Amino acid sequence: MRINLTLTRRTAVLGVATLVAVGGAVAIGLSGNSAAPTANAGTTGTAILAPALAADTGPLASDAFPGITVRGAGKVTGTPDTLILTLSVNKTAGDVTSAMNGLVTTMTAVQNSLKANHVADADQKTSGLGVGPEYDYSGNKRTVTGYQATENLTVTLHDTKAAGATISAAAAAGGDATQISGLSTDLENNSGPLNQARDAAFNDAKAKATQYAKSAGRTLGPVVRVEETVSTQPNGAVSADSAKSAASGGSIAPVPIQMGSTDVTVQVTVVFSFS
């Protein structure tokens, strides 16, 4: 890393030294102002040192370094505890009324099956509803052949061990009108992994700050500010290709489900003062 020293003797200059390295950003403030500096993002760069000079000559004040801003990251892997199922029911008939009545009957059977498998009403959410004509375009003309009614349902499954049987039972209840279009995992009870990731992120930031303070000939003082960003990312999320269920009244074996894992990542920006 190259450090350039720029001195301006006739003009007072207020600046910061920005030290940027792979894995985080660091800003060391250089001024008599006690306000903490802000973080500068980046992965590579040249540090520029611009000291504040009130006159042509004279040493820097002893409090010329008010603090340091660093970024830290921590990641913890946890096991998902929730499944999100997306399914739909499609009914076709010669008129809108018959199509809608068929949809109501079939979707009610699906929802009753979910309730029988201990899925609460609060965990069943209608996420789409529609009805419209179907056409035949043969003979260079458009002819209405019937009407299709569709309802989409998003289901939250908290009992992951019984989820396979619950999904199969719902598909069987809907028969050929049922279509499963998606299955994903979630980590709702993430307080344990989140706390561990926070500790790791802060320790990462403090280690960086300690190293830079030592290089600057200073020691770390109290923390001035902490900002965090939290994200969760499933590894090998569970999914299901679109597929219609077996014939109405048929029996479907429990769907085998692997929960995989989920990464909980915390990024923090910490401002330390100098003592």
pLDDT digits (tens, 9 = 90+) for 249-261: 567 899 999 999 9
User: Could you tell me if 38 and 112 lie in one domain?
Assistant: no
In a shared domain, residues 130 and 179: yes
Q: Which residues span the domain enclosing 210?
A: 3-77+191-232+267-274
Do the domain assignments include residue 249? no
Output the average pLDDT for the chain: 79
Looking at residue 179, which CATH number applies to its domain? 3.30.70.2970
My answer on whether 13 and 50 are in the same domain is yes
> Based on the domain organization, do 86 and 109 belong to the same domain?
yes
**In which band, very low, low, confident or very high, does the pLDDT at 27 lie, cut at 50, 70 and 90?**
low
Coil, strand or helix at 13: coil
| End position of a domain, from candidates 166, 186, 206 | 186
Is the pLDDT assigned to residue 192 strictly greater than 80? yes
- In this prediction, residue 126 has a pLDDT band, given cuts at 50, 70 and 90, of very high
- Residue 176: its pLDDT value, please? 95
Q: What percent of the chain has pLDDT over 90?
A: 64
Distance CA 257, CA 22 (A): 39
Q: What is the pLDDT of residue 237?
A: 53
Number of separate domains in the chain: 2
Report pLDDT for 201.
Answer: 97
Token representation of residue 125: 């959410």
Which residues have C-beta within 8 Å of that of residue 195, sequence separation ≥ 6? none
Can you tell me the distance from the alpha carbon of 178 to that of 101, in angstroms, rounded to the nearest whole number? Answer: 15
pLDDT tier at 29, thresholds 50, 70, 90: low
Q: Does residue 213 share a domain with residue 155?
A: no
Report CA 260 to chain centroid distance, whole Å: 16
pLDDT of residue 275: 84
Per the model's pLDDT, the better-predicted residue between 92 and 235 turns out to be 92
Same domain for 99 and 168? yes
